Each structure stands twice: as C-alpha cells, then as structure tokens.
C-alpha cells in the first residue's frame, strides 16, 4: 500500500487493488452469483462496499500520515467496532468483560493517535481514517451475520469482491485516470505493488480466509486479528518506520483488549 502511494493517490491505489482482485475472482463470482437469491444480492453489494471499497480507500488515506505498523495495529480494532455496531444497531447482547476489553482497546488507540514519532502529544487525524475503516468493516460483518446467514461464505466473498471491483472500475473510468494505469518506468513499482495488494491481499486472502472458516470455525479464523499487528510492525521496522515505547504500549493495549473481548464472547 505504501509503495503504491509513491505514485498514485489513495483512491487510485484502493481502486486498482479492488479491480485486480475482481479480475482474479471473476470466474468464481460469475458462477457463484447465480447461487445467491436476488433478494440477498443487495446485501452482498453493501458488504462489498463497506468491507472492501470504503476500508481500502480509508486505509490508503491513513497511510499518507501514519506508518504501516500503526495502521496495521489499528486494524485490530475491527472486532471492537463489530461489537459496538452489533450492540447499537443489531441488538447484540454484551457483558462487562466485553466492555472492559473495549475500554482497554480504546486506551491503546489514544496512545497511537495522540503521540507522534517524537514522543510529543500531537493529534494525528490520519489515524482516524483507519478507525473509520474498522467501523465500516464492523458494520459489514454484522450485516453478514444478520442478513446473509446460511449463504456459503465463499459465495459472499467472491461476489462482494466483484461488486467492489465494478464500483472501483467506475471510479477509475469516470475520474479519467485509466490513462495512468499504463505501465511506465515512473509508475512501475507503484502499479505492481497495488496489483499485488489486490491479488494477494484481497482475492487470495478472501478465498483462504473463507476456506479456513469452512474447515475450522469462525472463531479460529478470527485469530488473524492477532497476526496482522505483528506482521505490520515487522515490515514497518524493516522499512525503517520510527516507533516509540508509547506506540508499543498502545499496540499491546489494543491486542489485550481484543483478546478479552474474544474470550468473553
């Protein structure tokens, strides 16, 4: 994502990502869309918008002003916002341990948002883009649970990726940016990075994730929440991104909060 932003705008990187993923999964999506009731396709399209188009765009905007490591850790807030959306809009029951996990997670978020790379208090509004992305994903997960229960998760994944790709292709077409998708020496690295993100980070990831759900359980599959921050910090450190002790404290708070929420579910 960061390498894509070297040449393209946040919306262009997100759109290239979604279109690349849709092309890879096109054959599956065309076959699977016939297995979904027309009454449910609207919800699937909404999932594509709220789980892929909006979060992908918001995370690209976030990485303009925050490191990949911090963005990856903030991504771990998704279960927290899934819980909040479920409580507020989908009548999901809760308990004190879940609320305690939420509080701990948000304390960690404050460390990441308010402390800059020099250790000074400084509000970083770019982090709010990542938080907003997590809120969008949280809503989409509740939509899947509430309105798409009983539909094969792979059908939902492939068809929602198709809808996301169509929306992104429309943006690239109507914003007159298709001409900058031609491979040149200037955009080569950014274009390849954005396409790779779509193929590996969206298309293949969606198929693998849903296969894990089918063969194990949603609870086991959701453990990827704990892996993302570790991977993000690892690559961030390799790329020379500055992280302070306060940032690590914030990361730990978020992960501990998520673990408490998971175990109390």
- 112 or 88, which is more confident: 88
For 192-221, letters b (16+ CB in 10 Å) and e give: ebbbebbbebbbeebbebbebbeeeeeeeb
Nearest alpha carbon to residue 65 among 155, 145, 2: 2
Instruction: Return the structure tokens found at 244.
Output: 């302070």
Percent of the chain exceeding pLDDT 90 equals 38
Q: Give 226's pLDDT tier (boundaries 50, 70, 90).
A: low
User: Which range, of 21-30, 81-90, 154-163, averages the lowest pLDDT?
Assistant: 81-90
Q: What is the pLDDT of residue 227?
A: 67
pTM of the model: 0.86
Nearest alpha carbon to residue 70 among 246, 257, 194: 246
Per-chain mean pLDDT for the chain: 85
User: What SS3 class is residue 121?
Assistant: strand
Give the structural domain span for 236: 4-174+183-263
In tens, the pLDDT along 158-174 reads: 999 999 999 999 999 88
Q: How many residues does the chain have?
A: 265
Cβ–Cβ < 8 Å for 97, 260 = yes
Count of structural domains within the chain: 1
């Amino acid at each position: 994502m960061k390498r894509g932003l070297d040449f393209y705008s946040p919306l262009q990187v997100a759109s290239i990502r979604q279109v690349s993923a849709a092309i890879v999964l096109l054959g599956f999506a065309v076959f699977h869309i016939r297995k979904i009731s027309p009454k449910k396709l609207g919800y699937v399209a909404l999932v594509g918008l709220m789980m892929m188009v909006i979060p992908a765009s918001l995370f690209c905007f976030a990485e303009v002003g925050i490191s990949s490591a911090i963005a990856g850790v903030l991504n771990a807030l998704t279960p927290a916002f899934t819980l909040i959306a479920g409580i507020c809009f989908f009548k999901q029951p809760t308990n004190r341990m879940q609320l305690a996990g939420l509080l701990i997670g948000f304390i960690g978020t404050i460390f990441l948002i308010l402390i800059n790379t020099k250790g000074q208090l400084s509000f970083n509004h770019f982090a709010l883009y990542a938080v907003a992305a997590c809120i969008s994903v949280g809503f989409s997960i509740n939509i899947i649970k509430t309105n798409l229960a009983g539909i094969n998760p792979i059908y939902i994944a492939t068809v929602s990726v198709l809808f996301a790709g169509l929306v992104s292709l429309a943006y690239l077409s109507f914003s007159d940016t298709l001409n900058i998708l031609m491979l040149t020496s200037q955009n080569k690295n950014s274009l390849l990075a954005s396409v790779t993100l779509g193929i590996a980070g969206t298309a293949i990831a969606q198929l693998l994730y849903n296969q894990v759900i089918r063969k194990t359980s949603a609870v086991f599959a959701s453990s990827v929440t704990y892996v993302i921050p570790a991977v993000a910090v690892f690559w961030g450190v390799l790329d020379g991104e500055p992280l302070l002790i306060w940032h690590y404290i914030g990361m730990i708070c978020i992960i501990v909060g998520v673990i408490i929420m998971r175990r109390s579910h």
